[in-house]
Structure 1
Amino acid sequence: MDVMMIDALDNLGDDDFENFKWYLCKGLVPGIDPIPKAKLQNAHRRGVVDCMVDKYSDEAGKITVQALRKINQNHLAKTLESKLQKVQQSEPEERRNASVSVEDQPIQSDWSRPHITQSSQEFKDRTLRENTNNVYIPQDKTQRKRLALLITNIQFEYLKYRAGAARDEENMEWLLTALGYRVEKYTNLTGKAISAKVKDFAARSEHKDSDSTFVVLMSHGNIIQNNEDKGVKYEDRFLNKDAILGVNYHESKNPNDFFIVDDIYSSLSSEKCPALTDKPKVILIQACRGDHAGGVYIQSDSAVHIEKDFISFKSCLPGIAAYRHPDEGSCFICYIVDVFCKQAHADEIKELFRKVTSRMEKDTRFTGLEKLMPCIDRTSLPKKLYLFPGL
């Protein structure tokens, strides 16, 4: 690959080569940091290739093609792309299609966010061709308008400050952007405000031109139950439901400041949000669902489904507390980012969630009674959802 890249750059004039370096410094791929200008300023062609391989690894060739197109060297770009595809096709089929195993690699204390591996056009075309009726067909990148909703509660009036939640918010915004979604982000909302933002999001006209959406809620949470001995009584429709707590929640002073998670599904249903009918809606919830430690000592005009194409992934099982590092954020979000970055180019979303679950199960930090097992919930995806990062 290095030789092919050097050959392409050797065919550039000096002005085009300087413009090529300028685009590398500016950044070409969402979610991947550009190469610092100081490293490229005086670099010759071979030095630039070395910097790109060091920075982008296996994606260096693809990024070279993108940069050549930016400077209108379309013939060189097409030639290089063709050479790279021939090299890829010459590899054994098993090697090209194999997913990198990440299941036995727990996140370490010095974990840092990796760059996201881009899907190849060849993989996307083959997947859609071979699974036409079993895969959600993505819209063209140049025309779609993907939206994602991200709500994070960090600072509460009465409840404990969610240390590390700001890092979760940063990581999720970065990941969703890298996956091609424009993120609507809100921080520190009451339950009523969360409900309003979800309903406003469901009404957005951009969903008509989208092919999918993400809704991510991160906050303190609990399962709402009647507590009449403390003077707190709720309507029957709220009982035993997962709730996201608003920033003013207090068990006795302000017990009604919460948002019922089930309301996401009704707000984004075919009835309330027809623009997302037959389009996948991914719900991610980072919140406690109780206070149990998690371990035990044992021995349209036509009829449509009112709710379809959802998949929800929650940070813990019902009744269980979730865990969060005060500096690095929650294990759940870190594992999602890590797995999506390394595997979203090759795996569909349920397999991505399975790998997150498998790695969290084996995480040695959860010792004794403190256990954390995420779970896929309320799934109604009849097809496979591939995110095809970069395409």
Structure 2
Amino acid sequence: MDLENLLYQIAQQLDNPKLASLKFLSLDHIPQRKLESIQEPLDFFLTLKEKGMLAKDNLSFLKELLFHSQSLNLLIKFLNVSKEEMAKELQIPGKAQIDPYRVMLFQIFEDVSTEELKAFKFYLNQKISKEKLDHHATLLDIFVEMEKRDMLGKENLDLLKNIFGLVNQSLLKKIKAYEELNEERRMCPERNRDGCSNGEELFKNMTISNSSSRQKSELQTSDNVYRMESKPRGYCLIFNNYNFEKARKEVPKLAHMKDRNGTHIDAEALRKTFHGLHFEVLEFQDHPAKEICDTLEYYRKMDHSDKDCFICCILSHGDKGVIYGIDGQEAAISQLTSYFTGSKCPSLKDKPKIFFIQACQGDNCQKGVAVETDSEQQEAALEPVPPSQKHYIPDDADFLLGMATVNNYVSYRSPLDGTWYIQSLCKELRERCPRDDILTILTEVNKEVSSKDDKKNMGKQMPQPTFTLRKKLYFPLH
């Protein structure tokens, strides 16, 4: 198609937030005053053409804009360039046109949550007028305002670092990586002689600094890795069962079942972790077994076409092959996972479905005062797992089930610190994403949890992941 038709087709796919992203990434090439007057994508493209940055035989800047703004579907559909091809092209000296400084700021914008944005505005309220920090102002808007007031720049990142040191220290890693690599470049000016005139080598180092060589080679072929680019990535449901008074009253054999003190600590850790990984997190408190099933049925019927993943976390008491609702009724784990098979939930077909179950799968171990278990029994002989309960996930592709413990055994929960499994899981996800894939991360969780013990009674715990994944699964931070 000709250039005008191509630009028109792309413009039809750009909403206001995406246009704002493209304008921000173009700030070093188009004056801010000019960009402020642009309200339509076609006007933006016309400005690029006037600046000589867009022509029929020169689409490189447009490609780079779509790549950095995460408009990867447009990059592939209209420009026939994959994410991997674009990343490789930008590593060629002289190719990158968008400064690493602006890429770094945009990546921070992508990673900041709504609550963190509110906190960021709060810390600036004495420095920037209230109308510039209203609820409509995005982080990109604030970055521009800070640059106008000389509060932010390529060599002026102190205020940004100070605020994120209070709001979200993980974002300091991006700023630090930019500063270190920028300093290295300044100290080695001879690198400019090979054509690296606009920071592209610096961008190359920034974009690959958090990836292992193994991951980079795997990402060369998209067939090896699950797509994880949508925003949000998908739904993350958290079923958090604490109050088991109804179970104690209505089910005689569960009369001794305790409330799950400390479970709120796990729920909060999961919420923060998966929100930070760009999932839409929904928490459900104290659900009977039927309501858990009904909720999963509701999400089974939803259209997940614009999502890349589905996660369900269940924090409850349990026994072999089942979890308990707060009413003491059982829900088979195999039933809970089966709602999302390809035939029952077509919009999640070929996408990863992940379940994390924090519940005992057998009899209690004798416990000390400070550590409790998530089992329903006081003490009983171990019994073999019935055949019907051995398979927790469907005979269907793309499932991952992370169990807090293996068959027949308890899992441990501290009323003050949460469970060994969930706390370790969240810690490893925070520290290892996006460098490691999920199975590597769960192996580290196994290692960490199995090294713990109930000091008083020497009780141990061994988590167990089961999966039918067909590709590597990474959780990007941007």
> Under a length normalisation based on structure 1, what TM-score does the superposition of the two structures give?
0.64
Q: Who is 1:57 aligned against? A: 172
Q: Counterparts in 2 of 1:302-341, with a 5 A limit?
A: 307-341=396-430
Match status 1:360 vs 2:471? no
Deviation at 1:150, TM superposition (A): 1.4
Equivalent residue letter for 1:162: R
Equivalent residue letter for 1:337: C
Whether the aligned pair in 1 keeps the contact of 2:177 and 2:206 (CA below 8 Å) is no
Match status 1:178 vs 2:276? yes
Structure 1 pair 215/53, CA: closer, same or farther in 2 (3 Å)? closer
**Which of 109, 113, 126 is the aligned partner of 1:30?**
113
Structure 2 spans left out of the alignment, 5+ residues: 1-27, 37-105, 128-149, 180-196, 249-256, 368-393
Deviation at 1:362, TM superposition (A): 2.0
Structure 1 pair 37/28, CA: closer, same or farther in 2 (3 Å)? farther
Query: What per-residue deviation string (whole Å, max 9, x for no partner) do you get for residues 13-66 of structure 1?
Result: 9xx9xxxxxx9xx996139845584488469655415515744432226899xx
Q: Counterparts in 2 of 1:232-243, with a 5 A limit?
A: 242-243=321-322
Deviation at 1:221, TM superposition (A): 0.6
Equivalent residue letter for 1:280: P
Structure 1 pair 97/184, CA: closer, same or farther in 2 (3 Å)? closer
**Which of 343, 351, 363 is the aligned partner of 1:279?**
351
Name which one, 1 or 2, has greater alpha-carbon Rg.
2
Whether the aligned pair in 1 keeps the contact of 2:361 and 2:406 (CA below 8 Å) is yes
Q: Who is 2:266 aligned against? A: 168
Q: Percent identity?
A: 22
Whether the aligned pair in 2 keeps the contact of 1:294 and 1:320 (CA below 8 Å) is no
**Secondary structure of 1:346's aligned partner:** coil
Deviation at 1:275, TM superposition (A): 1.4
Q: Who is 2:311 aligned against? A: 214
Q: Who is 1:4 aligned against? A: none
Task: Tell me the distance in 2 between the aligned counterparts of 1:365 and 1:32.
Answer: 37
Where relative contact order (Cα < 8 A, 6+ residues apart) is larger, the structure is 1
Task: Tell me the distance in 1 between the aligned counterparts of 2:436 and 2:287.
Answer: 34
Task: Tell me the distance in 1 between the aligned counterparts of 2:238 and 2:210.
Answer: 34
Structure 1 spans left out of the alignment, 5+ residues: 1-7, 17-22, 65-78, 100-122, 224-241, 250-256, 296-304
Q: Who is 1:293 aligned against? A: 365
Query: What per-residue deviation string (whole Å, max 9, x for no partner) do you get for residues 119-172 of structure 1?
Result: xxxx98x4564233221123444xx66112211111112231100011111111
Q: Who is 2:8 aligned against? A: none
Task: Tell me the distance in 2 between the aligned counterparts of 1:160 and 1:336.
Answer: 24
Task: Tell me the distance in 1 between the aligned counterparts of 2:114 and 2:160.
Answer: 21
Structure 1 pair 48/382, CA: closer, same or farther in 2 (3 Å)? same
Count residues with an aligned counterpart: 293
Structure 1 pair 323/306, CA: closer, same or farther in 2 (3 Å)? closer
**Secondary structure of 2:365's aligned partner:** coil
Q: Who is 2:462 aligned against? A: 373
> Under a length normalisation based on structure 2, what TM-score does the superposition of the two structures give?
0.54
- The structure in which a higher percent of residues are helix is 2
CA RMSD of aligned residues (A): 3.8
Task: Tell me the distance in 1 between the aligned counterparts of 2:199 and 2:430.
Answer: 23
Q: Who is 1:389 aligned against? A: 477
Task: Tell me the distance in 2 between the aligned counterparts of 1:216 and 1:81.
Answer: 43
Query: What per-residue deviation string (whole Å, max 9, x for no partner) do you get for residues 73-96 of structure 1?
Result: xxxxxx99747425548xxx9x76
Structure 1 pair 262/51, CA: closer, same or farther in 2 (3 Å)? same
Task: Tell me the distance in 2 between the aligned counterparts of 1:131 and 1:27.
Answer: 25
Task: Tell me the distance in 1 between the aligned counterparts of 2:240 and 2:198.
Answer: 44
Equivalent residue letter for 1:130: Q
Whether the aligned pair in 1 keeps the contact of 2:111 and 2:276 (CA below 8 Å) is no
**Secondary structure of 2:423's aligned partner:** helix
Equivalent residue letter for 2:319: N
